[in-house]
Structure 1
Amino acid sequence: MTKTMNEKQYEQEHLDHILDKIKAKKAELKTAIKSAEGEARDLNSHFYDDVKLDFDGYSTSMETALSIHQQQQLLDERQNAWQHSAKQLDTVERLEQKPYFARVDFRETNEQPETIYIGLGSFADENNHFLIYDWRAPISSIYYDGKLGKVSYHSPEGEITVEMTKKRQFMIEKGKIVNMFDTNESIGDQMLLEVLSEKSSTQMKSIVTTIQQEQNKIIRNTSADLLFVQGAAGSGKTSAILQRIAYLLYRYRGNLTSSNVIMFSPNQLFNDYIKNVLPEMGEQNMVQMTYWQFVARRLPGMQVENLFDQFEDKQADTNINKFKDSTKFFKLVTRYAKYLNGKGVIFKDIYFRDKKRPYFSKEKIKEIYYSFNSNYSLANRIDATREELIKQLNRRITSEAKKSWVSETIQGLSKEQLNELYDRPDQEFESEEKEEQFLGRKIVVKKLKKVYNSIKQNHFINMRAQYLNFLRAVPKMIDLSKWGIAASDWEQQIATVKASFKERYIHMNDVSAYLYLYDLLTGRYVDFEMRYAFIDEIQDYTPFQLCYLKYNFPRAKYTMLGDLNQAIFTKDESQNLLKQISGLFDPEKTEVVQLTKSYRSTKQLTDFTKQILRQGEKIESFNRQGPKPALWGRDNAQEAIAVLEQILQENDRKKQTTAIITKNLADAKFVSEELNQAGRKNTLIATANQRLVGGTLVVPSYLAKGLEFDAVVMWDASKSKYHKADETQLVYTITSRAMYKLDIIYIGEKSPLLAVNPATYQEK
C-alpha cells in the first residue's frame, strides 16, 4: 500500500469519526428541541396554575406580578433554549453534507504541532474541543493567506506567527473523500479546476472552498471606511463580497445583524441569482435592493424611469446629463437648500370639503413657515410649521362641528354607524344637544383625518415646483458654459422636466436630486443604524447617486465593487469615478483593490474577450481549457436563426445552459418568437422581476449583468448594431458572461468592435 493510499485511508477514517460525532449531535439536538417545545407548551397551558391572582392589596398585587414575571422568565428560557438548539441543528445539518474542505498543520514557537480542519461552520465535541473550525475564524485565515512556512494571523490576543507544515484540500461527496491533494498555494489549481468545471446553475454558489489570497484580503478587511474593489469580469468580485458580508456578521456577532447591512445590486434578476449564498453559510440575507427600488419606493405617486427606459430609450450622453450626474450638482442642491432657509419655499393649499376655498392657504402656510427665528434650521422650521398647523386644525374642530353638513351627516347615519361612533354601547348623555355635540365632534375628527395626514406628510410643500425653481436658479449659481451647456439648452431641459412632471414621470438623472432637496427641506432623518453598505456594479452609478447614498447612510462603511470596463450606461466619468467621490471619505481609510485574474471563463474565452477592451492586457486568464469562440457571419436573419438552432442543438447535447444575449428587448422578443415557431423551447427574460430557469434563455444585455452561463450566444453582432466606440464595454459585458463556450452571430458586416486577433477565434 502506497503512502498516498495510507494517507487517504487515514483521512477517510477521520472523516467517518467526525460524521459519527455530527450524527450523534444531530440526534441530541433534535431531542433537545422536542423537549424544549414540550416544556414551552406545558408552561403556556398551565401559565396561571401556579400564579396567585390577588389584587386586594399592594403587597399581594406585587406578589402576583413577581409570580407572573417568574413564569414568563421560565417561558423565555425555554424559548431561547429552543432557538439556540435550532440554530445549532441548522449548522450540524449543513456540516453533515460536507463537514470540511481543508486541513492545516502548524506549530507555534515552542509548542506542540497542531492540526485543524476547516469547514463552513464550527463544530466541537462534548469537551468543547474544536473538531472543525469555521472558515471565518481567525486561525483559518492562514489557509487562505499563506504558503508553507512562517505565516501570521490576527487573533483577539494580537498577531500570532506560526510555522505551517501542511495544507491539504478535500473534495467530499456523501461522506466519502472523492479527492484530496496537498498544496503550497492558497487554493491549489487542481481544486479550482474541479470546482470551476462544474456546470453553471440559476443560483450563485458559495466560493468558501476556493477563496484566493487577494479575495481573502477583501473579505477580512475591517479597517477601511471605503473599500473600492475593481476587478475583471469573472474575477470573483461579487462572490468575495458575499463572503465578506458573512465574515463581518460572524466577526461582529452580537453587535451586527443582517438588518445593519444593505446591498445595492444591478437588477432584481441578480438579487434572485445570489439569494442562496448567505443562507448556505448559515447567515440571514442582508437588506437587498436596486438603486431604482431605493428611490422609487419614496415616490409612489410618480413613475420613475426604470432600467428598460434607461437603456431602450437612451439618448446620447449630453453635457447636461454629465452635469446633473456630478458631485458639483449635488453641492448646488445643498447650497440652494441653505438659501431656502431665508426665502423661496413654495407651498400648496390644503383643502377640506370646499375644493375652491382652501382650508389652509399656501400664503398662510408660508407666513407661519417664515415667522420663526432665522436661527431655525430647515428641519426645525418644518417641524414647527407642522406643529402650528395641527394646533390650528384642533382649534377648528369645535367650529366645524357646528356647521350644517355635520348635522346632515348625523341624520343620515344608520343605527350601526351611530353605534360605531359611541365610546361604549350603553353610553348616556345629559341631553340630545350634548349627544349631537359628541357625535358632531367624532364625525369632524374622522373627516379631518385626511387634512391631518396631509400636514404630517408635508403635502403642503409644492415639491415639483420647488425642484423646477432650483433648476431655474442653477444658472445664477454656476457658469454653465464651463460644462458646455448653452442657456437655451438649459431652458429646454427645464421645459422637458416640467412636461415629465405633468405626466407624473421623473427621469433617473433628476430623481436623486429631487429626493435630496426634499430631504434637506423636510429634515428627513437619515439611517444611522446601517453599518455596512455594499454597492455592486459601481460603474453604472453616477457620482451624484453615490453622494446621495453616503448622505442616507452616514455611519456606514462602504464597499464598492465593479468592473469599469463594463459600464452599461457609458460615461466618460466612469474611469475616474473614485477620484470624483474621494472627497466623501478619509483618504487614510480608503483602500483600492484590483482583481485582474478571471476565473469564470476558459483561457480561450478570456484571451478573446480581453482584446475587445482598450486596456484588456491587464486581465489575466486562468488556465482552464475549452473551445475557441466561434464567429458566424450570415447574410440575413433567417440564415442567422438557422445557425442559432444548430448551436443550441450542440449545446443541448453537452447539457450546457445557454443564454442568447441580444442588444435590446426588441431583438430578444424577435429571437424568442422565431425559436418558438421552430418548436424550440426557450424562456424570454423580459423584465428584471423574472426568475432564472434552466434551459435556453433569451436575455437583453442590460439584464445580463453579474450573471454567468455555460454557453453564450451573442445575437447580431453586426456593424449596424454595434458601431459606436462607447459600446465597446457593452460588447465586453455580453461576451464575458460565458464560462465555457461563446458563439457570436452577425448579419452582414461584422461589428468593428470585434476587431481581434483572428488566431484567437474560429470563423464559421
Structure 2
Amino acid sequence: MDAEQWNKEQARVDDVRSQLKARIARDEPLVSELKSQVVGIRSEFWDDVTVNLAESDDRIETAVSMKQQAEVLSERERSHRALRSGLQKMRRLLPAPYFGRIDLVEDGTDGTPEPVYVGVASFLADDGETFLVYDWRTPIASLYYDYGPGAVRYETPGGEITGEMTLKRQFSIREGRIRSMFDTGMTIGDELLQDVLSRTSSSQMQAIVGTIQQDQNAIIRNDRERLLIVQGAAGSGKTSAALQRVAYLLYKHRSRISAEQMVLFSPNPMFSSYISSVLPELGEENIKQTTFQDYLELRLGKRWRLEDAAEQLEAVLAGPEADEEIRLRAAAIRSKSSVRFLERIEAFASGLLRSGMRFKGFRLRGRVVIARGQLEERFYGMDASIRLPNRIELLKEWLLEELERLETEERDADWVREEIEYLDNEQYRKIHKSLSRQRRAGADEDESVLEERLLRAEVARRTFRPLRRLAESLAWVDAAGLYKDLFRGEHAADAEEERWSEIGSRTLSALEEGRLLHEDAAPLLYLTELVQGFRMNTAIRYVIVDEAQDFSAFQFHFLKRLFPMAKITALGDFNQAIFAHSTELAASAWLQRLYGPEQTKTIVLRRSYRSTRPIVEFTRSLLPDGSGIEPFDRPGELPVLVRAGGPEERDRLLAADLLELEASAATAAVICRTEAESRAAWERLRRMPGLEKLKLVTKDTVKFETGLLVIPAYLAKGVEFDAVLLYDASADAYGEERLRKLFYTACTRAMHVLRMYAPGEPSPFFADAAPGSYREANPARS
C-alpha cells in the first residue's frame, strides 16, 4: 500500500472521528438532560396531576390530566432511549470507526465506484442521508463478507441489486490510528485474523465482526428455514456466529422482534456468563438464556429429585466400561434417548384412548370422595373421537363442578361444626363483615343461623381449596404411574431395546425412591405433555441451541412443541459428543424429519480458528474422520506429552509449568476427566508454593474467570484457554475408546499451548496421532 493511499485513508479516519467527537459532545448533555426530565416527571407525577373524584366531570378531568402526564413521560422516555442508544453506538465506533471498505459500481449507474465503509454500527453525516459508516448487518455490507472483486448481488427490501465490486480493503484501526491496511480477494485476510487470534483469552467471549468468514455469514443471515443445523469443528466460530446471527436478526426485524422473543439454550450457567457480553458489545440487549436442565427443574423439580447431565456423565465415568453397572447404565441412556423409545411413548399414549389410563382419587379427611373408578368411567365414556388432552380438560371441568357440589353437601356434616371451633380471629372478623353486609342488604334470616351458615361455608371452602388446586393442576393424572407401565407387564415384554428387563427394574427402583435419572426426565415429561396437552410459548420467535449434539430426540421434539412459532438454530460438533445420548447433527435422519427436508438447512464449518496449526493438526489426527478439519495457518509450539515417573512427579512438573505460564497466559486450565479428579487435583496443587489462589470450577460455578483454573473436561466445552494442561493423559485415565471424544474435547480448548501429563503409560490415543504432531518430554530421564 503506497503512502498516498495510506495518508488518504488515515485522513478519512481522522475526519470521521472528528465528526463522532462533535456529535458525542453535542448529545451527551442532551441525554443527561432527558434523563433528569424522566426522573423528575416520575418523582413528581402525582404532584402534576389534578386528582378530584367528587363529581363525574371532576373524574373525567382527573383521567385526562393523568393521561396527558403519562404521555409526556412516555415521550421523554422514548427520546432518552433513542438518543442514549445512538450515543452508545458512537462511543463504540470512536476507537475504530470501521474495519472494511468495498467500492461498488451498481448496474444502471454512471460507472463511478461508491465507497462503502463497514463498521459495528451505522453513522450518518450531519445531512442525515450520507452514510459515513454502514452497520455490518445492512444488506449492502453482506458484500464485504460474501464476495471478492468482481460481479456481486445482494438483496434489499426493495429487491435485488447487482453490480461490480472494484475494491475490497481491510483495516486494523486502534485508537484512531491505522495499524494495518491491505486489499484482499474473496476471504477476510489472514493478516487481520492473525492479529485477532494471537491475542490472549479473556473472561468473556469477544464480539468481533470484522473477521466473519463467508460460511459464518451464511449462518448469520439465514432467515428462511425453520431448522438451521450447524455442524462445526472445535474452534470454528459456531457460537460467535450464532450470537452475531441474533444481533443481525434483531437489526433486520427491529420493528417487530425484540430480544425478549429469543431464547438461547446453553450447556451450563458458566457458559452463559462467558458469552453474556457479546450482544451488548454489538449494541443489542441480551436475550433470554437458560439450560434445558433449568426447564426440567421448573417442571419436575417439586415432585422428583432430579439428576442432571453432569451427574449422569460422572456416573458413567465412575468405573471402567467393562463394569456391569456402567454397561447397563450406558445401555439405559442410549435406549431412553432413542427415536425408537420416543415412538414407543407416542404409540403408548395413543393406546390410552382405549385403555390403560391411570388416575388418582380424591380423599377428604381420610375418606374417598371421588374414586379413581369414577374418573376412568367418565374418561372412557366420552366420544371416541375426542383427543387425549381434550378428554383431560373435559374431565377437569367435571371434577371442579363435582367438588363444588361436594363442598355444598359437606357444609352440613358434623366435622364442619367441630372445625368451626378452630377458626382464628381473622377468619371470624371476615365472617362478621360478610354478616354485616347481608344484614344491610335486608337478609331476614335469624342472625345466629346466618352466622353458622356463613361459618360452615367458610370451613368447607377452606377444606376443599387444596382439592380444587389438585384438580386445576391435573395432579390426579398419574403420569408417573403411566411412565412406570412402560417398564412392566406387556409393555416391557414388547420392548426391543437391549436389556430392557434389567433397565426397567433399575428405573422402577429409582422412581419408587423419588429419584428421576437424567435419561428419564425428558421422556417422562414428554409422556405427561402428550396426555395433558403441551404447554406452548407462542411469543418466542427464535431458539438457539448450543452444544446441540448433547440434545436427545426427546429434547428436540420438546422444543418444537414448546415453541411452535419459533425457528431453531442447532449448533454443535459431533466430535465432542461426550454423552451417551448424543446426536449426530449433520447425519441425523430423524432431525432432518423434525420440520422436513424442505424446512431444514445444514451448514458445515470445517476450519478451526481457535488453536494454533500444530495443536489442530494434533487434535484432528485423533479422530477417525479428522482429516476434514482445516487448521488456520497460525504458527505455534508443538503439543507436548510429558512423561512423569508417577503422580507426585506429575504434580511437581505441572505446578512448575503453571507458574511459568501465569506470566504470559491470561488463562491456564488444568483439565481433568471428572469433577472428582478435578477436586483431588485442586487440593494437591493449591498446597504448592505460588498456587494458593488456584481456582476450582464445578457445575455450580456461575461465572467464568481468568487466571489459573482446574476444571472437568465436560464443563470446559465451548470455552477456550491460552494454555491447557491435561492432568492425566495416561492409559489409566484415557485407555478406552469411549473416552476418545472426551480426550479430544479437552485438548481442543487450548489456544496457544497444550501440554499433556502421563504419570504412567500414555493413552493409546497418542499412537493414532499423526507422526511429528507432538513431542515428548521425559524429565525423569533427562
TM range (shorter): over 0.9
Once residues 702 and 288 of structure 2 are traced to their aligned partners in structure 1, the CA distance between those partners, rounded to angstroms, is 20
Task: Give the deviation of 1:277 after TM superposition.
Answer: 0.8
> Which residue does the alignment assign to 1:340?
352
Report how far residue 39 of structure 1 moved. 4.6
Equivalent residue for 2:222? 221
Instruction: Tell me, in whole angstroms, the C-alpha distance in 1 between the residues paired with 2:582 and 2:79.
Output: 57
**Would you say the 8 A contact 1:325–1:545 is kept in 2?**
no
For 1:248, the aligned partner's letter is L
Question: Is the CA contact (8 Å cut-off) linking 1:327 and 1:581 kept in structure 2?
Answer: no
Is structure 2 residue 645 aligned with structure 1 residue 635?
yes
Partner amino acid, structure 2, of 1:731 = F
- Picking from 290, 308, 311, the partner of 1:309 is 311
Distance 1:731 1:73 in 2: 61
Aligned to 2:78: 80
Match of 1:453 in 2: 469
Note if contact 2:551-2:583 (Cα within 8 Å) is conserved in structure 1.
no
Q: What residue in structure 1 maps to residue 773 of structure 2?
A: 760
Q: Secondary structure at the match of 1:161?
A: strand
* Mapped contact 2:145–2:217 kept (Cα < 8 A): yes
Flag structure 2 segments of 5+ consecutive residues without an equivalent: 317-325, 440-445, 778-782
**Aligned match for 1:554, one of 564, 575, 599:** 564
Change (3 A) 1:578 1:411: same
SS of aligned partner of 2:475: coil
SS of match in other structure, 2:163: strand
Which residue of structure 2 lines up, in the alignment, with residue 242 of structure 1? 243
Separation in 2, partners of 1:714, 1:560? 29
Q: Deviations over 1:331-359 (max 9, x none)?
A: 2212211221232211112234x2x3134
Post-superposition Cα deviations, 1:450-491, rounded to whole Å, max 9, x if no partner, equal 1111111111112211111133367479561xx5x3xxx323
Alpha-carbon deviation of 1:577? 4.8
Instruction: Summarize deviations over 1:17-49 as a string: whole Å, max 9, x none.
Output: 323333333344344344444555665636686
- 1:385 equivalent in structure 2: 395
Q: Is 1:671 matched up with 2:684?
A: no
SS in 2 for 1:126: coil
Cα shift at 1:253: 1.4
- The amino acid that maps onto 1:117 is Y
The reply on whether 1:328 has 2:358 as its aligned counterpart is no
Unmatched tracts of structure 1, length 5 or more:
none
Question: d(CA) in 2 for partners of 1:375 and 1:343?
Answer: 14
Q: Does 1:471 align with 2:487?
A: yes
Q: C-alpha distance in 1, partners of 2:392/2:529?
A: 11
Q: Which residue of the partner structure matches residue 740 of structure 1?
A: 752
What letter matches 1:463 in structure 2?
A
Counterparts of 1:21-60 in structure 2 under 5 Å? 21-40=19-38, 45=44, 53=52, 56=55
Question: 2:323 matched to which residue of 1?
Answer: none
Letter in 2 for 1:99: P
- 1-structure distance, mates of 2:676, 2:53: 76
8 Å CA contact retained: 1:327, 1:547: no
Q: Percent identity?
A: 35
| 1:258 corresponds to 2:259 | yes
User: Are the aligned partners of 1:225 and 1:586 in contact in 2 as well (CA < 8 Å)?
Assistant: no
Mean Cα displacement is larger for which, 177-186 or 468-477? 468-477
Query: Would the aligned equivalents of 1:47 and 1:71 in 2 still touch at CA under 8 Å?
Result: no
C-alpha change, 1:192 and 1:387, in structure 2 (3 Å) is: same
Q: Distance in 1 between matches of 2:511 and 2:455?
A: 42
1:234 partner SS: coil
| Cα-to-partner distance string for 1:184-236 (whole Å, 9 max, x where unaligned) | 24311111000111100121111311101111111111122222211111111
1:89-108 paired onto structure 2 within 5 Å = 89-108=87-106
Task: Say which of 575, 583, 589 aligns to 2:599.
Answer: 589
Whole-Å Cα distance in 1 between the matches of residues 278 and 582 of structure 2?
34
CA distance in 2, matches of 1:478, 1:413: 56
Moved more, 567-576 or 640-649: 567-576
- The match for 2:322 is none
For 1:278 and 1:50, the matched residues in 2 are separated by 40
Q: How many angstroms apart in 1 are the aligned matches of 2:22 and 2:428?
A: 66
Secondary structure of 2:264's aligned partner: strand
Match of 1:431 in 2: 447
Q: Could you tell which deviates more after superposition, 13-22 or 251-260?
A: 13-22
Check whether the contact 1:330–1:547 (CA below 8 A) recurs between aligned residues: no
Following superposition, the deviation at residue 620 of structure 1 comes to 1.1
Rounded Cα–Cα distance in structure 1 between residues aligned with 2:507 and 2:139: 54
State the superposition RMSD in angstroms: 2.6
Q: Distance in 2 between matches of 1:492 and 1:52?
A: 74
Asked if structure 2 preserves the Cα contact closer than 8 Å seen for 1:547 and 1:581, the reply is no
Of residues 46-55 and 69-78 in structure 1, the stretch that sits farther from structure 2 once superposed is: 46-55
| Rounded Cα–Cα distance in structure 2 between residues aligned with 1:395 and 1:10 | 87
Shift of 1:371: 3.3
Letter in 2 for 1:579: A
- Closer/same/farther in 2, CA of residues 68 and 583 from structure 1, 3 Å limit: same
Between the aligned partners of 1:514 and 1:155, the Cα distance in structure 2 is: 47
Q: 2 CA distance for matches of 1:598 and 1:625?
A: 13
Give the SS at the match of 1:256: coil
Alpha-carbon distance between aligned partners in 2 of 1:12 and 1:477, rounded to the nearest angstrom: 78
Match of 1:653 among 657, 663, 666: 663
Number of aligned residue pairs: 753
8 Å CA contact retained: 2:550, 2:583: no
- C-alpha distance in structure 2 between counterparts of 1:39 and 1:751, whole Å: 67
Question: Structure 1's 443 and 282: CA in aligned 2 closer, same or farther, altered over 3 A?
Answer: farther
**Does the 8 Å contact 1:305/1:506 carry over to 2?**
yes
For 1:468, the aligned partner's letter is: K
- CA distance in 2 between counterparts of 1:475 and 1:341 reads 16
| C-alpha displacement of 1:261 | 1.9
Deviation of residue 312 (structure 1)?
1.2
Other-structure match for 1:269: 270
Give the match's secondary structure for 1:460. Answer: coil
Kindly state the Cα deviation for residue 104 of structure 1 after the two structures are TM-superposed. 2.2
Q: Distance in 2 between matches of 1:724 and 1:206?
A: 38
Question: Is the 1:534–1:559 Cα contact (8 Å) retained in structure 2?
Answer: yes
Q: 1:176 to 1:220 in 2, by over 3 A?
A: same
Q: Does residue 598 in structure 1 map to residue 608 in structure 2?
A: yes
Amino acid at match of 1:433: V
Hey, what's the Cα distance between the residues in 2 that align with 1:4 and 1:418?
Answer: 93
| 1:121 match | 121
Counterparts of 1:390-401 in structure 2 under 5 Å? 390-401=400-411
Q: How big is the shift at 1:146? A: 0.9
User: How much has 1:445 moved relative to structure 2?
Assistant: 2.1
Q: Is the 8 A contact 1:296 1:303 kept in 2?
A: no
Letter in 2 for 1:92: M
> Residues 259, 121 of structure 1: CA spacing in aligned structure 2 closer, same or farther, 3 A cutoff?
same
Q: Report the secondary structure of 1:613's partner residue.
A: coil
The corresponding residue for 2:169 is: 168
Shift of 1:247: 0.8
Tell me by how many angstroms 1:302 deviates.
0.9
- Please give the alpha-carbon distance, in whole angstroms, between the structure 1 residues aligned to 2:491 and 2:397: 36
CA contact (8 A) 2:722 2:750 kept: yes
CA spacing shift, 1:73–1:11, aligned 2, 3 Å? same
SS of aligned partner of 1:723: coil
Q: Is the 8 A contact 2:666 2:706 kept in 1?
A: no
Runs of 4+ with >6 A deviation: none
Aligned to 2:460: 444
- 1:607 matched to 2:623? The reply is no
Q: CA deviation at 1:153?
A: 1.4
Instruction: Give the direction of change, closer, same or farther, for the CA distance of 1:68–1:645 in structure 2 (3 Å limit).
Output: closer
Deviation string 1:670-696 (CA, Å, 9 cap, x unpaired) is 211111221313111122434222211
Q: 1:157 to 1:473 in 2, by over 3 A?
A: farther
In 2 relative to 1, CA 200–189 (structure 1 residues): closer, same or farther, beyond 3 Å? same
2:70 corresponds to 1:69? no
Q: Which residue of 1 aligns with 2:725?
A: 713
CA separation in 1, counterparts of 2:431 and 2:82?
Answer: 48
TM-score by length of 2: 0.90
Given that residues 101 and 119 in structure 1 are in contact (C-alpha distance below 8 angstroms), is that contact kept between their aligned partners in structure 2?
A: yes
Q: Shift in Å at residue 68 of structure 1?
A: 4.3
